[in-house]
A = this chain, B = another copy of it.
Amino acid sequence: MSELAQELFSALDDIVGARAARDGHGAVATWDPELWAALNEQGYASIDPAEPEVGLAEFCAVATAVGAQALGLPLVEAGLAAWMAASAGIKLPGGLAVPAVSTGEVLTVVDRDDDGLVVDGALRRVPWGRHAEVVLAFARHGDGTTSLVALEPQRMTEGSNFAGEPRDTVHVERQRVDAGQVSTDSALGPREARARGALLRAAAAAGAMDSVVDLVVEYAGQRHQFGQPIGSFQAIQQHVVTVAQAAAATRAAVEATFMAAPEHRVMTAAAAKVTLGIQAGRHARSAHQVFGAIGATEEHRLHLLTRRLWSWQDEYGTQHEWAHYLGDRLIFPEAPGLWEVLTPPHPAVAAREVGESVPW
């Protein structure tokens, strides 16, 4: 991690941690306008992806802190939206902008002229949609190409994920979007945006898992049964190790993307999300086994973290979807050898080769 990433993580972790200490973990896990305002003021909702020192690692550091604290605020979404807009050359108005790319569904362009587009359709599972002033979505033209559009949400059906985080359906009914809010750059498509969303979910999950490791290690050392701390039983040790291992693997998968060459970033992000999918279930199940029923009770902190894991592993593409994508990218007659793909060239060299136009 860069120094900046470390700073972003620590400062955010401190602010939210202090608030959780005051109001409880449950309080920071749901939308808290006051805390949102405070974090906005600190600049966490408006990190500029165009700054030269800001890269994947920095956005992931914020996501990890959000996960570690089970913070119920759309910092990750604001960051993803900012990056999408910047990559596509759209200037966002003020207020919260969120991406509507989790499910992979796109809008339909039903009309276009020099002033902009008319788009139609429904965007499901829009994170924090009810709090957003702008939604970023892709719209498909008749020729199959897509444009990124920034639009104001009009009508909405509320929904949520397992953790109670808003996942709303935005109904778009023949809505007009001005040309300034439509991208002209085709390098950023739904695949790239969703891959980055997937990576950020994996980064957030790695943070949540680290917090679960802390909880589990502490509990297994304190809780006594049959006259000893339960952590002295091999069966519990095995669960604890599974919990720690899953956290470490998820984090390692996230960090592996930082060293990938630009043309491998979608693949490595996909691999990080697949790793999350493989690890999240064993992690959460083992953690709950250590805690027994107490961890599944309303007032316990554990499930604030594990319920996020259960949802996050499926958001921005399931394990299955990304694994299939990877399979397609690995097996075709002209594919390089498996080992060549697994041991890619140096990022800087590769960046030169593919030019500067790659979106990330």
Contact = CB atoms under 8 A, between A and B. Distances in A.
Interface of A: 233-235, 238
Copies held by the complex = 2
A234 B234 CA distance: 6
6 contacts: A233-B234, A234-B234, A234-B235, A235-B235, A235-B238, A238-B238
A227 to B, nearest CB: 15
A238 B233 CA distance: 12
Nearest to A236: B234
Contacts of A234: 233-235
Closest 6 CB pairs of A and B: A234-B234, A234-B235, A233-B234, A235-B238, A235-B235, A238-B238
Nearest to A233: B234
Contacts of A233: 234
Nearest to A235: B234
A233 B238 CA distance: 12
A235 B238 CA distance: 8
A39 B260 CA distance: 65
A238 B238 CA distance: 11
A210 to B, nearest CB: 26
A236 B234 CA distance: 9
Contacts of A235: 234-235, 238
A122 B233 CA distance: 56
A238 B237 CA distance: 13
A51 to B, nearest CB: 51
Contacts of A238: 235, 238
A235 B242 CA distance: 14
A282 to B, nearest CB: 15
A155 to B, nearest CB: 37
A72 to B, nearest CB: 38
A259 to B, nearest CB: 34
A242 to B, nearest CB: 13
A245 to B, nearest CB: 16
A235 B234 CA distance: 6
A321 B233 CA distance: 40
A82 B244 CA distance: 56
A236 to B, nearest CB: 8
A247 to B, nearest CB: 21
A203 B322 CA distance: 39
A225 B235 CA distance: 18
A233 B233 CA distance: 9
A143 B272 CA distance: 51
A289 to B, nearest CB: 13
